Amino acid sequence: MSFENIIGNEKNKEFLNKIIDSNSTVHSYMFEGIEGIGKSIFAKEFAKMLLCIGNDKKNCARCKSCLEFVNSNNPDYVQIDSDGKIIKIEQIRQMQEKILEKPIVSSKKVYVINDADLMTKEAQNCLLKTLEEPPEFVIIILVLANESKILNTVKSRCMRIFFSKLKDEELKKYESTSVNSPECSIIRSYIDLLLNLPWNKSTTDNKDLILAKKILDETHYGLNDVKDRIVEYLALRTRTKNTNSSVICLVGPPGVGKTTLCKSIAKAMNRKYVKISVGGLNDSSEIMGNRRTYIGAFPGKIIQGIKKCGSNNPVFVIDEIDKLCKDIKGDPASSLLEVLDKEQNKYFVDNYVEECFDLSKVMFITTANDVENIPLALKDRLEIIDLSSYTEYEKLHIAKEHLIKLALEEYKLDSNSIKFSDEIIFKIIRCYTKEAGVRELERVINKIVRKIVKKMLEDKKDTTSVKITDKKLEELLGKPKYENTKVLESTPGVVNGLAYTSYGGTVLPIEVVMYPSKEPVKLTGNLGDVMKESVSIALGYIKSHAEDLKIDEKLFDSSCIHINAIEGGIPKDGPSAGTALTTAIISMLLKKSVPNTVAMTGEMTLTGKVLPIGGLKEKSLGAYQAGVNKMFVPKLNEADLSDIPKEVKDKIEIVLVQNYMDIYNDLFKGSEENVRNKKNKRNKKSI
């Protein structure tokens, strides 16, 4: 940690080193010189040495202060930047509000004001008060190119240090540096990066909206909301040339086509495509880059991606932002705020490049599996677009129009070499895949084609036409991996709930039994805290409404209610199982079974109110695939019914409920009346 890797201005290096060695600092400095000669680099290196708490302030890279500085999270270092035009008085006031707070890590606090000559007169006068009587532990460094814009009163209170261009003898020195020296390698890598960055290279956007829509339709089935959003963006660009559009975030389970859709968007817009993954990323320098003064320094992923694609306006995909991590190395999510903010990214500065790069022309698209795991500050900058699970019919279409064709083309087969009927494709979907998207379906189809190609080569028959039958399918793939339905037999205490998993919606059977025990409740099935609370709410509701529910309260006195959620190896959590848990317990207590073709979802309150849930479309698809023909849904989710596919609505009776008694009256009170009517009929016949 020193100035040794900074080129030029040797006298300033010597002078600043003497200040460090003698511990003879003043409260304010002014670094002056033309643009691009390294003033900001000097200021930061100087600040690091001032804050260092190690024994060797010129070479320390191990103390707490230095490590936190490297990760851009040293609390004793504050940097103030302009918006490219001015530094407002509000920025100086914000600095003054915290300037009296004592250092946390070091013995000093350092404030660096870049582009200080862009301060308004009001801001300079405000700063003057601090320069006159600064706290003893505060050091302020002003970095500027035009000293004529600085008030004389400000200048007089700063130690002024002038920076000049490299002298001819210094240039000759670096020209004569051995090519094998580390210094030469660092300089060459930096220059190569600067020369290869597409500062002014742009691609011309496709302005044909019809053509763009056609390209999107050819590559992806459905996803109309996303396609319309892209066409809207192109229309806006065509009419206003405005690039300040909100960042799209595609949210959906794995395999629904988020990444491939981004590629299609780039193609439709006639832009370059670049993708980075930030899943598991915990180091902010991966986004913002490392300082060139560090060994092994490199630019951040953003600049690397821009350089790779060779364009300053690509479609830039940031994948898996819901899996960002935060630890001692920094907070990458906070670093992305600047990248994705349309007001800031025009002046994006990578720590390695140390020059402003305009990212405002880039179309950023982010992807995530779970919107709840996206940091709130980051989510605020995103326009969330949900990519929900595919229906069986959508998967059928995708398989016929895309997956099978691609598989046959990959293995150099014509379209008639292998024939898949609709029935066979449905069987593959239902019995050999279990997912919301089509990724596993693609793998299974490729596996079938590979095995057939292998058989053709073994038999030396290249032109054989193979028709996939049920028998042939089992020969190639083995016995079915998944059952077509998960519902259990109709018996008291068993009810079908609905869950939203990583592979889409599914039926979640809940079973309840009772037996003598001092333990009032027992839970199994890998339930999370929220679901355990739902059990408590269900029991509280049942006990407080026992009379209305026709339940004998004495049953709770000496019996244990054992609740189990099927598939105990899979963690389960969330409040939406409230109605199913309540119904299962009531079914057990009343000894009345609920038809196994009935399913339900909804959060419960202690008063019986049914609250809305998420993932209704996915849950309805799971119910449909499991053979459910009746589904209880919160009335507050009525607006979401439009998202449910027509084929699902045609097969499932959807009952909207506001209060749990709506479910009770439908399932249990109605059954009582049926029993009573049957008894009356028998009595009439006997008479």
Catalytic residues: 576, 619
**Rounded distance between C-alpha atoms, residue 75 and residue 69, angstroms:** 9
437 phi, psi to nearest 5 deg: -100, -145
**Rounded distance between C-alpha atoms, residue 187 and residue 205, angstroms:** 36
Q: How far is CA 652 from CA 639, 645, 656, in A?
A: 17, 11, 13
Choose among 312, 224, 234: nearest CA to 267.
234
| Residue that the structure tokens 């880059």 belong to | 289
Q: Residue 271 is which amino acid?
A: R
**Rounded distance between C-alpha atoms, residue 421 and residue 508, angstroms:** 31
364 phi, psi to nearest 5 deg: -85, 135
Note the Cα 618 to chain centre separation in Å.
Answer: 20
With both helix axes pointing from N to C terminus, report the angle between 258-269 and 209-219 in degrees, rounded to the nearest 10: 150
Rg of the chain, C-alpha, whole Å = 34
Tokens of 359: 């990212």
With both helix axes pointing from N to C terminus, report the angle between 301-309 and 182-196 in degrees, rounded to the nearest 10: 60
Tokens of 131: 């320069």
Degrees, nearest 5: CA angle 488-489-495:
60
Give the 3-state secondary structure of 620-641: HHHHHHCCCCEEEEEHHHHHHH
**Rounded distance between C-alpha atoms, residue 280 and residue 199, angstroms:** 30
**Rounded distance between C-alpha atoms, residue 419 and residue 71, angstroms:** 57
Tell me the H-state helices in 160-257: 168-175, 182-196, 209-219, 224-240
